[in-house]
Amino acid sequence: MDDNFCVVQHRLSQARQAPSPNCNARPAGEAVSLLVIHNISLPPGQFGSGHIELFFQNRLPIDADPFYQEIKDMTVSSHLLIERDGAVVQFVDFDRRAWHAGASLFDGRDNCNDFSIGIELEGTDTQPYTDLQYEALAKVTAALQQAYPALTAERITGHSDIAPGRKTDPGPAFDWPRYRGLLE
């Protein structure tokens, strides 16, 4: 994979494209101005199943794990997923609203999906993320900041920070100082 990540026509040119139907138009004139870091694993605590992609595409094999019965009717997505090996998958173009934040509030504004980009890391709140994920996340963030100048360091946050009490990701296992250091 090319190490020079860039955004071309609201897509990360190095990401594998796997379109999700779970998106819609941003409000007219709404600029991207927030980056939200999440985590996900399907089944919970397991990696490499490919089920995250299927979940975001409404194709989850609901009989593959008992947990899937709980989430079978959910329609969610994220703009990007960074897998354990650092591979990047894009589900929603950046100029569209992905359904990742839910009920949320940042800097006095609610409905963060309207103005944010969501990045899922394949992981859990408690298991360390991989070196390859941090490297990819830093490179992707730099490309996004180049394409969307309002994405300043102060406007990068965790899901737990915009939905406190409801969400805990990316969790205590996410090394914020390490990630922020890679952005300098």
Give the residue numbers annotated as catalytic, written as ranges. 120
Q: Which residue, chain included where needed, has tokens 């009989």?
A: 63
Which residue type sits at 94? F
1, two tokens: 């994979």
Taking residue 18's Cβ as centre, other Cβ atoms within 10 Å add up to 15
Q: In what order do the strands lie in the sheet with 16-17?
A: 16-17, 88-90, 80-82, 116-122, 34-40, 156-158
Residue 139, H or E segment = helix 131-147
